A = this chain, B = another copy of it.
Amino acid sequence: MNNLLLVVGAGALAMLFSFWKTSWINKQEEGTDRMKQIGASIADGAMAFLKAEYRVLGIFVIAVAVLLGFANAGRQDSSSLISLSFIVGAVASGLAGFLGMKVATKANNRTTHAARTSLAEALNVAFTGGSVMGLSVVGLGVIGLGGLFIYYSNLFGSDADNINTVLNVISGFSLGASSIALFARVGGGIYTKAADVGADLVGKVEAGIPEDHPLNPATIADNVGDNVGDVAGMGADLFESYVGSIVGSMVLGASILAANAFDINFVILPLFIAGSGILVSIVGTFMVSVKEGGDPQKALNIGEFGSSAIMIGAIYFLIQSFLPETFIQGGVSFTSMGVFYATVIGLVAGLGIGMITEHYTGTGTPPVMSIVKQSLTGPATTIIAGLGVGMQSTAIPILILATGIMGAHHFAGLYGIAMAALGMLANTGIQLAVDAYGPISDNAGGIAEMAELPAEVRERTDKLDAVGNTTAAIGKGFAIGSAALTALALFSAFMVQTGIDSIDISNPMVMAGLFVGGMLPFLFSSMAMGAVGRAAMAMIEEVRRQFREIPELKAALAVLNKGDESTWSDEEKATYEAGLDKAEHGKCVEISTQSAIKEMVLPGLLAITSPVIIGFVFGAETLGGLLAGVTVTGVLMAIFQSNAGGAWDNAKKMIEEGVVVNGEEIKKGSEAHKAAVVGDTVGDPFKDTSGPSLNILIKLMSVVSLVIAPLIA
């Protein structure tokens, strides 16, 4: 057990690495005064949102902690410590989001500045920013889980009799992480899309000014949104997956018999795999480096795939040293090699789903080209094509998932399914670094535009952004695959904790649960989309108001819309300059913040209260049906929405970069382009709000069930 200090040590190492990289980022140049000013506005806006969000979440955390303590008080000595775990999990999740966003907002304009010199340097800054995010997430996860496990083991004991108490209390950590993650994802998703739609529809379409232009009052909010949604939201999301997969495999590990006895090694193996993943991720970050003129895509691939290969070796070594050669689970005998195979199946499945994701959403692929072609006949056919692509894109990932489930279970039972999920997430550190690098580059481009830097800077950041796409698609595959497997692992853990040994679909109570569970992702998505719609509407009205009521802004806009800058008179130039800092960005930031905070509450509560109500009113079996239903349609809707959104997005980008269909180039500003913009706008809440939130939803509901399992058993 003392070895577990090694795990916590690995977590501490990750945090040290993060601090070191943060201080490196701090030392980089920030660029011109205008860039500094923009950077500061974005950073302030982002922090203002986090503060407002955390204030609401603080109340939520305290309320749930009290409820948890109260509900568990009578059950067993100290089992109300689950409240402590919950608070630690929530705080750790919040802290991961905070640290990631803090460094991301710093890395944004430093990446812009670096892009003034070279692509390689810009990559370096952006990726370093991402790696801080990645390693904070895994570091906090491992320290929190490892620390609590050591503490509770000492308190309760970690033998066969007490391990379930320890694990139940620890599941509170996962609950804290998941609930904060859901709110962060939903809130961040609403924020970013409201700002985005507001900036686009009024600024670009109505007022005819370019994206990210300083005259557009919503641009700062738009850029804050990218940090809030894509960075902080994603960080909380992966923190939650990571923690969930570890907890799920620990609980299932506790139900294993080796040599007819409980074996603690099955429980702590997941922690060690996570700890080793940190070391591998740190090694991986050093693999990502590109010389001037080198290929940045290759650099990222080497980092991600290289570290995956090392990870497989590490997992093999750990399994061989921790697990006995054979063991019994659910009456069936398995081998330690089987556990290894299950893990590899998980990795391969994640990779496969990622490649399919890339196929359905990547630039120039046949599905995306089909949307481009349909844009020629207008927005209706563009939408139909995109919906079709999204729905079709569920098929192969689900077949991969189904095969993976059967394979992992064949080799190592339920423990195998949990380990397959953990295998995908073991090197989350570097995966998240690559994921977070994308939005940082994207924002760097926005700042270049707002600071009116030369076009080549924006071109470099755009290239940087595009480069990460394939790697990010693979990451998305891992996120979806691991979410499904983690939900199943937590679901199985729930069954272990309640002691029910079958959930029979032919029981109408279970079937009813299945239907209601299946419906929840639809309801949840509609709530998320409705929220984005309302928030965007408020933003649209505010931007319109500013254009109407601020005379300097109106005058500057009129000059801008005259076109070619070289024809402006000196007076016109002066009018334009005078308008540049008149847009009231702060008001837009505030509107997005208020809307997001207000609108995240209802979908969040739906997710948390449904399992509680169903569980207490209808019992564990119906709740099991509910979880199965929510998992199946949640995964399907997540894939459908994310991929439809991704495909529309890239179809639009292809047209904007110039694409030839039937021998004719589709021009920017043409009807086909407008149709593609409609597709992209519809896809925005799909891929950035409801789609990714569903990944969290399915795990959160499983975790809630796992936490209340002893109470409804």
| A residues whose Cβ falls under 8 Å from a Cβ of B | 201, 205, 374, 377-381, 383-385, 387-392, 394-395, 398-399, 401-403, 405-406, 408-409, 414, 417, 484, 488, 491-492, 495, 501-506, 508-516, 518-519, 522-523, 525-527, 529-530, 532-533, 536-537, 540, 624-625, 628-629, 632-633, 635-636, 640, 677-678, 681-682, 685
Contact = CB atoms under 8 A, between A and B. Distances in A.
A678 B406 CA distance: 43
B518 A636 contact: yes
Contacts of A504: 502-505
Contacts of A491: 506
A379 B519 CA distance: 27
B374 A533 contact: yes
A174 to B, nearest CB: 20
The binding surface of chain A is classed by DSSP as helix
Contact of A506 (B401, B503, B629): B503
A506 B519 contact: no
Given A384-B682, A398-B516, A530 B632 contact: no
A389 B512 CA distance: 23
Contacts of A526: 387-392
Nearest to A380: B681
Contact of A405 (B390, B495, B512, B527): B512
A682 B383 contact: yes
A682 B379 CA distance: 9
9 contacts: A201-B378, A380-B681, A388-B529, A392-B522, A401-B515, A405-B511, A414-B508, A522-B640, A629-B632
Given A374-B533, A387-B529, A506-B495, A518 B398 contact: yes
B383 A678 contact: yes
A633 B518 contact: yes
Contact of A377 (B402, B518, B540): B540
Contacts of A384: 529, 532-533, 681-682, 685
Contacts of A403: 512
Contacts of A635: 515
Contacts of A513: 402
Given A506-B495, A515-B402, A530-B392, A682 B380 contact: yes
Nearest to A205: B378
Given A384-B685, A391-B529, A523-B391, A632 B502 contact: no
A678 B529 contact: no
A681 B484 CA distance: 34
B505 A624 contact: yes
A523 B395 contact: yes
